Chains A and B, each alone.
Chain A
Amino acid sequence: MKKIVLPLDKNCAEQLKAGDSVLISGEILTARDCAHKRLTEMIARGEELPFPIEGAIIYYAGPCPAKPGMASGSCGPTTSSRMDVYAPQLLDLGLGGMIGKGEMSDEVRQAIVRNKGVYFAAIGGAGATYGKAITKSTLLAFPDLLSEAVRKLEVRDFPCVVAYDCHGGSIY
Chain B
Amino acid sequence: MRTLDTKEIADRIYAMALKAGVTLTPSCRAALRQARDTETEGAAAFALDTLIANAELAESENLPVCQDTGMAVVMLEIGQDVYLTGELLDDAVNGAVRRAYADGYFRKSVCDPITRNNTGDNTPAVIHTHICAGDKVEITYLPKGFGSENMSAMYMLKPAQGVEGIISAIVQTVKNAGSRPCPPVFVGVGIGGSFDTCAYLAKKALTRDVGTHSDRADIAEIEKQALERINALGIGCQGFHGRTTALGVNCEWAYTHIAGLPVAVNIQCHCIRCERATI
Q: Which residues in A have some Cβ–Cβ distance to B below 8 Å?
A: 19, 21, 33-34, 61-67, 73-76, 78-79, 81, 101-103, 121, 123-132, 145-148, 159, 161, 171-172
Contact = CB atoms under 8 A, between A and B. Distances in A.
Given A73-B107, A126-B51, A101 B64 contact: no
Given A21-B43, A103-B180, A171 B67 contact: no
Contacts of B83: none
A21 B179 contact: no
Residue from A78, A101, A128, A161 with most neighbouring chain B CB atoms (10 Å): A128
B29 interface: no
B182 interface: yes
Contact of B180 (A62, A73, A75, A102): A102
B57 to A, nearest CB: 5
B161 interface: no
Contacts of B108: 146-147
Given A78-B147, A124-B238, A171-B239, A146 B57 contact: no
Contacts of A128: 54, 57-58, 61, 63-65
Nearest to A146: B118
B211 interface: no
Given A79-B147, A124-B182, A125-B269, A74 B65 contact: yes
21 contacts: A19-B43, A33-B116, A62-B107, A63-B67, A64-B63, A74-B58, A74-B66, A78-B68, A102-B181, A121-B179, A121-B238, A123-B54, A125-B51, A125-B65, A125-B270, A126-B66, A127-B65, A128-B57, A128-B65, A129-B54, A147-B108
B64 A64 contact: yes
